[in-house]
Amino acid sequence: MAERFATEVKNLSEEQAAAELAELAAEIARHDERYHAEDNPEISDAEYDALRRRNLAIEQRFPDLVREDSPSRRVGYVALDKFEKVTHPIPMLSLENAFNDDDVKAFAERIRRFLSLDANASLRLTAEPKIDGLSLSLRYENGRLVTAATRGDGTVGENVTENAKTIADIPNVLAGEDIPEIVEIRGEVYMGHSAFLSLNERMAAEGKPTYVNPRNTAAGSLRQLDSAITATRPLNFFAYAWGEMSAMPRTTQMGMVEWMQEAGFRINPLMKRFDDVDTLLEHYRAIEKTRPELEYDIDGVVYKVDDLALQERLGLKARVPRWAIAHKFAAEKAWTILHAIDIQVGRTGALSPVARLEPVTVGGVVVTNATLHNEDYIKGVGSKGEVLRDGKDIRVGDHVMIQRAGDVIPQILDVDLEKRPDNAKPFSFPETCPACGSHAVRDINLKTGKTDSVRRCTGGLVCPAQAVEQLKHFVSRGALDIDGLGDKQVEAFYESGRIADAADIFTIRERDARSLKRLKDVEGWGETSAAKLFDAIDARRNADFYRFLFGLGIRHVGEQTAKDLARHYGDVETFNNAMAALAANDSEAREDLIGVDGIGETVTQALTEFFAESRNVDVWQRLLQKADPKPVEQAASDSPVAGKTVVFTGSLERMTRDEAKAMAERLGAKVSGSVSGKTDLLVAGPGAGSKLKKASELGVDTVDEDGWFQLIGRD
C-alpha cells in the first residue's frame, strides 16, 4: 500500500494515480465496513479522512481516472442481513471535506463560479457542529413516525424503527399545525460523554467488557436486535437535515432546522448563519475552542448554502452536494522509533520506501507503518528542492514524529537529533530492483530537465512485481471483474506458469485440457471449482468494451477515460481503425480524439504510443481472438440533440458552462471541448472566438444561447 504515497499528488503520473485509486478504493471500503457495519473501526476519523482526502485529491487532478467503486461515489456500507432493508427515497449522501481555511474559501469561490455570482454578491452560509455519531433517517406520514433507517450504503439502510422509538429526542408524533403529509427528518444518533462514562462504570461493575468510545457505543446500541437493550442505552438525537418532503415548510436551511425544532426535534444550539466566509471561520475556531467542553463528540463544522433554491441549482457532483462541505478539525501527532525502512515495488515499477515503526497509539489508533514518499524525502529534500525538517535526514533508529492527517497518512514530520543513535547511518536507497535485480533509475523530464522524484525498476515485463500487478489490474473490479479470479489466484497462476499476460486468461480452459497437471488436481481446487472459474472467464468474454480498454493498463487511461473512449467509438472495430490511424500519425484521427470531452493531449499521446508498439497491439489482438467486447448501447432519446456532438463557447448568460454541459448530456448529446468535422452544433455566446471561426469554416450549424433553448423546447 505504500506505493500510493510515494509521490505528492501534484507529481503523480496518471499510471501511478490509477494504481493508487484502486488501492485506496479497496482500503476505504474495508474501513467503511469496519466503521459502519461492525461498529469497530481500526483507524481514527482523522486517518480515515486523510485516506479519502488523498483519494479526492487524485480524482480532482485526474478526473478521467474516477473509478466506479470510488469512495467519492458511495456512502457508508452495505446494510446487514440481520435487519430488514429500507430504500431511501432520496439517497443519504456524504460531504466533501475541508481541512483548512483555504479549502473553505475555495469552496465558497467554487459556488460563486458555478452560479456566476458577482464577487460583491451576498452568499449566505450556515455553520453547525459535525456530530460524531450514527446517521439516521426518520420517515413520518401524516405526522406519525412510520420508519427509522440507518444510512447504510446511502441508498439502502437498515430498519431500526422500534429501537429509534426508545430515544426520547425522537418524537413519535410531530408537533404543530400544517405538518406535510410526508416528512423525512435526518440527523445523528449519539451518546453523551457523561452517559458513556456511566454506562462503562455499570458494565465494569457487572463484570462485563467496557466500550471503547461513545460513537461506536451509540452505533452498536441503535443496531441491537432487541429494542429493550436499546432502551437501556442513553442515546440522543440531533436533527439537521431532511430527505423526502411532500411540502417544504421553509425556504432556507436555517429556516428548515428551526421548523424541525418547532416540530419537536432537538437541534444544535451552536448552529448559526453567516453572510461572509471570515465570520464563518471565526465561528469554526470558536467551536473548536469549546470542543473539549461539549457533552458530545464532534469532528468538525459543516457549512451549507442557506438558500434552498440555490442548493437545488448547485446540485451534486460525484455523490456529494456542491452546496455543503465539512470543515474537519486537525489531527494528532506522536513520537516513536523507526526500526527499519523497507522498499516495496508496485505495479508501475515504482520503488516505494516504507517506515516500520515501534507501535504507537495516536488518538486511539495503533500506527506501525508510515510512508516515506521517496528517496529525496528521506534525505530531507522536497519535490522542488526545498529543505524539509530543517535539513534533517531520516535514519533507522531515529526518534520520529508522525502525523495521521494531511495529503499522505501516516507520515513522518520531524526527527529528534538529540536521540539519534551514534551508529545511525544515512539510508542508502537501492539502485537495483529488490524484486528482479534490474537497474532502477529516476527518469529525467526532457522538457523541464527535472529528475523524477520516484525511482523505477527498468525490468518491465521481466519484473514479477509489475507483471503480477498488471494481471491483477486486468481482472480487478473496474476492469474485467472475473468472479473467482482474485489477487491470490492471479499470483498462483503466474507463479505456476498458467498465465503470463492478459491474453492467456481467455485460453486457460483449452490449455488446461491439454496440461499434464489439470487445475482440478491442484490443492485447494477441484473439478467443480475449476469449472466455475472457467465458466466465469467465459462469461466475461463479452464484457463491456470499456472494461477491456481500462484493463489494458494504458498510461493515463483510467476507468472514466476508458468509458469516454468506448462511448465515442462505440465498438471495437471502429476503435481499432481509429487507433491504427492514430498510430500512423493521421491528423484527422488525432483531431477527432482530442475533441472528445475529457480527452486531451496527454491521453492522445499515450494511446498513440501504446498502439504504435507492435507488442501491445499483439496482446490486444490475441485478446480479441478469444473475446468479443460488448459495443456501447446508445441511449434512446427523442430530444432534438440526442446523439449529436455539441460544443459550447463564449460567455453564456442564462446558464453557467457546467449547467450547459449537464443539460446537453441529459438530453442525450455528446459535449466536446473543441470543434471538428464531427461537430454537429456550436452554441456560441458573446466573445466566441476561434471555435466560432472554425465552425464557420467547417460549415457546422451555429446558434446563440437563445437559439439553444428554442431548439430544445425550453424557451
pLDDT at position 408 is 44
Examine the pLDDT at 184 and tell me if it is beyond 80.
yes
Q: Cα angle at 331 between 190 and 354, to 5 degrees?
A: 125
Structural domain count of the chain: 5
Higher pLDDT among residues 410 and 49, named by residue: 410
Same domain flag for 294 and 242: yes
Same domain flag for 535 and 684: no
pLDDT at position 138 is 96
Please tell me the distance from the alpha carbon of residue 461 to that of residue 352, in angstroms, as a whole number: 19
CATH of the domain at 515: 1.10.150.20
Please list, in sequence order, all residues whose beta carbon lies within 8 angstroms of the beta carbon of residue 688, skipping any fewer than 6 positions away: 649, 650
- The mean predicted confidence, pLDDT, of the chain is 85
Please report whether residue 347 resides in a domain: yes
Examine the pLDDT at 607 and tell me if it is beyond 80.
yes
Q: CA neighbours within 13 Å on the CB side: how many for 307?
A: 10
Higher pLDDT among residues 203 and 613, named by residue: 203
Same domain flag for 223 and 361: no
Please tell me the distance from the alpha carbon of residue 78 to that of residue 156, in angstroms, as a whole number: 7
pLDDT at position 90 is 92
Q: What is the mean pLDDT of residues 459-469?
A: 69
Contact 395, 420 (CB under 8 A): yes
Higher pLDDT among residues 612 and 209, named by residue: 612
Examine the pLDDT at 404 and tell me if it is beyond 80.
no
Q: How confident is the model over 477-498, as pLDDT tens digits? A: 889 999 999 999 999 999 899 9
Provide, rounded to the nearest whole percent, the portion of the chain with pLDDT above 70.
90
Q: Which of 10, 82, 85, 130 is catalytic?
A: 130
Provide, rounded to the nearest whole percent, the portion of the chain with pLDDT above 90.
40
pLDDT-based confidence at 340, cuts 50/70/90?
A: very high
Residue 290 has a CB neighbour count (10 Å cut-off) of 12
pLDDT at position 365 is 55
Lowest mean pLDDT: which of 234-248, 446-460, 605-619?
Answer: 446-460
Q: What is the mean pLDDT of residues 221-235?
A: 80
Q: What are 560's three cell numbers?
A: 472514466
Same domain flag for 699 and 554: no
Q: What are 339's three cell numbers?
A: 526500526
Examine the pLDDT at 35 and tell me if it is beyond 80.
no
pLDDT at position 446 is 46
Please report whether residue 429 resides in a domain: no
Nearest CA to 455 among 354, 381, 376, 392?
Answer: 376
Examine the pLDDT at 141 and tell me if it is beyond 70.
yes
pLDDT at position 170 is 92
pLDDT at position 539 is 93
Residue 427 has a CB neighbour count (10 Å cut-off) of 17
pLDDT at position 216 is 79
pLDDT at position 493 is 94
Q: Indicate the residue among 328, 355, 389 that finishes a domain.
A: 328
pLDDT at position 406 is 43
- Highest-pLDDT range among 133-142, 382-391, 396-405, 636-645: 133-142
pLDDT at position 36 is 63
Q: What are 526's three cell numbers?
A: 477441484
Examine the pLDDT at 6 and tell me if it is beyond 70.
no
Q: How confident is the model over 242-255, as pLDDT tens digits? A: 999 999 999 999 99
Q: How confident is the model over 674-706, as pLDDT tens digits? A: 888 889 999 998 888 889 999 999 999 999 999
| Residue 302 DSSP SS3 | strand
Examine the pLDDT at 1 and tell me if it is beyond 50.
no
Same domain flag for 320 and 296: yes
Same domain flag for 335 and 413: yes
pLDDT at position 531 is 95
To the query of whether residue 130 is one of the catalytic residues in this protein, the response is yes
| Residue 51 DSSP SS3 | helix
pLDDT-based confidence at 104, cuts 50/70/90?
A: very high
Same domain flag for 179 and 321: yes
pLDDT at position 360 is 72
CATH of the domain at 252: 3.30.470.30
Please report whether residue 454 resides in a domain: no
pLDDT at position 564 is 84
Alpha carbon of 27 to those of 32, 42, 47, 485: distances in Å? Answer: 9, 12, 12, 19
CATH of the domain at 27: 2.40.50.140
pLDDT at position 338 is 94
pLDDT at position 329 is 81
Please tell me the distance from the alpha carbon of residue 41 to that of residue 48, in angstroms, as a whole number: 10
| Residue 462 DSSP SS3 | helix
Q: What is the mean pLDDT of residues 507-518?
A: 92
Please report whether residue 453 resides in a domain: no
Q: Indicate the residue among 313, 328, 343 that finishes a domain.
A: 328
Q: What is the mean pLDDT of residues 510-535?
A: 93
Q: What is the mean pLDDT of residues 88-111?
A: 92
Please tell me the distance from the alpha carbon of residue 527 to that of residue 517, in angstroms, as a whole number: 13
Please report whether residue 636 resides in a domain: no
Examine the pLDDT at 614 and tell me if it is beyond 90.
no
Q: How confident is the model over 58-77, as pLDDT tens digits? A: 887 887 788 877 876 655 55
pTM across the whole model? 0.45
Query: Could you tell me how many residues make up the chain?
Result: 715
Examine the pLDDT at 458 and tell me if it is beyond 70.
no
Please report whether residue 449 resides in a domain: no
DSSP-assigned letter for residue 342: E
pLDDT at position 267 is 96
Same domain flag for 109 and 243: yes
pLDDT at position 447 is 55
Please report whether residue 207 resides in a domain: yes
Contact 91, 155 (CB under 8 A): yes
Domain of residue 520, residue span: 463-505+507-539
Lowest mean pLDDT: which of 128-132, 204-208, 411-415?
Answer: 204-208
Contact 149, 158 (CB under 8 A): yes
Alpha carbon of 705 to those of 157, 225, 638, 688, 710: distances in Å? Answer: 43, 58, 21, 12, 9
Please report whether residue 366 resides in a domain: yes
pLDDT at position 150 is 92
Same domain flag for 202 and 123: yes
Same domain flag for 344 and 317: no
CATH of the domain at 651: 3.40.50.10190
Q: What is the mean pLDDT of residues 627-639?
A: 77
Examine the pLDDT at 78 and tell me if it is beyond 90.
no
Same domain flag for 236 and 308: yes
Q: How confident is the model over 292-308, as pLDDT tens digits? A: 678 888 888 999 999 99
Grid coordinates 530531507 are at which residue?
380
Q: Indicate the residue among 328, 359, 386 that finishes a domain.
A: 328
Same domain flag for 126 and 217: yes
